[in-house]
Amino acid sequence: MSMNDNSGDATTLAERIDQARREVTGLHAELVRNGLVVWTGGNVSGRVAGTDMFVIKPSGVSYDDLAPENMVLCHRDGTVVADSQGSERAPSSDTAAHAYVYQNMPEVGGVVHTHSTFAVAWAARGEEIPCIITAMADEFGGPIPVGPFAIIGDDSIGRGIVETLRGHRSRAVLMKGHGPFTVGVTPRDAVKAAVMVEDVARTAHFALQAGSIEPLAPEAIDQLYDRYQNIYGQSGDDRR
């Protein structure tokens, strides 16, 4: 199988693929633990370090049955790497979207899609989540934007994700009529963003039930985001 390895890491390619498989498998359990998915919906993917490949959840497999060996290894265009472990399975139906993100956002190392209740409700309304609390300013640097409606099956969702997030501080987008997608420098970072999206979506929903809400001032959001991202902690997705 043809694999482009651009890493100077001492670990072998096989070791890095295995590491990605184990990490992505474990992170799917976090989606279940945090109540972000139902049945077999939702998915996590992660780049294989130093390559143009990524690992993603197989389609239609129960979360209880996920294992490193049945994760699907894909090229950057979303095609399955022939004769690789797990290649007999179909990758997630969202694979084309993940692939498009990896192709066009080289800084991204992980992509997550969930069907979390409150975030999906905002997506169903086609309404961005306003930045009304400090935790949201810290994590997303402003409101969580809405991306266009797109049909599953090709790279249309991926295009919407990239077009919406490009130039935006948010690591999350609510695809209209669909649900949240999050990105991160690592798969774990993207999963953390997915957990935080649902948390702030729920908070904003309940706040609206009590009356009108007022977004934080832009200058306050800027200060909070800068402090949290650059001063409060230096360990990336372990800041909180």
Q: What tens digit of pLDDT does each residue of 127-185 get? A: 999 999 999 999 999 999 999 999 988 899 999 999 999 999 999 999 999 999 999 99
Give the separation between CA 72 and CA 90, rounded to whole angstroms. Answer: 8
What pLDDT, on the 0 to 100 scale, is given for residue 157? 98
Residues 233, 237, 240: CA angle, nearest 5 degrees: 55
Look at residue 186 and tell me whether its pLDDT is greater than 90: yes
pLDDT digits (tens, 9 = 90+) for 3-20: 455 555 568 999 999 999
| Residue position matching structure tokens 């072998």 | 12
- Structural domain count, the chain: 1
In a domain, 238, yes or no: no
Query: Cα separations (Å) of 181 from 79, 105, 115, 172, 212?
Result: 21, 14, 9, 6, 27
In a domain, 240, yes or no: no
The whole domain housing 90 covers 13-233
What is the pLDDT confidence band of residue 234, given thresholds at 50, 70 and 90? low
What pLDDT, on the 0 to 100 scale, is given for residue 5? 59
Residues 64-82, mean pLDDT to the nearest whole number: 97
64 is catalytic: no
What is the pLDDT confidence band of residue 240, given thresholds at 50, 70 and 90? very low
In a domain, 130, yes or no: yes
In a domain, 7, yes or no: no
Structural tokens at position 22: 């184990």
**Cβ-Cβ contacts under 8 Å for 1 (sequence gap 6 or more):** 81, 82, 83, 84
In a domain, 197, yes or no: yes
Considering the candidates 94, 138, 155, 199, report the single residue annotated as catalytic: 138
Give, to the nearest 10 degrees, the angle between helix 117-125 and helix 187-210.
Answer: 70
138 is catalytic: yes
What is the pLDDT confidence band of residue 111, given thresholds at 50, 70 and 90? very high
Residues 222, 188, 50: CA angle, nearest 5 degrees: 105
In a domain, 132, yes or no: yes
pTM of the model: 0.93
Q: What is the CATH number of the domain that holds 84?
A: 3.40.225.10
In a domain, 5, yes or no: no
Considering the candidates 77, 154, 232, 238, report the single residue annotated as catalytic: 232
In a domain, 1, yes or no: no
What pLDDT, on the 0 to 100 scale, is given for residue 232? 78
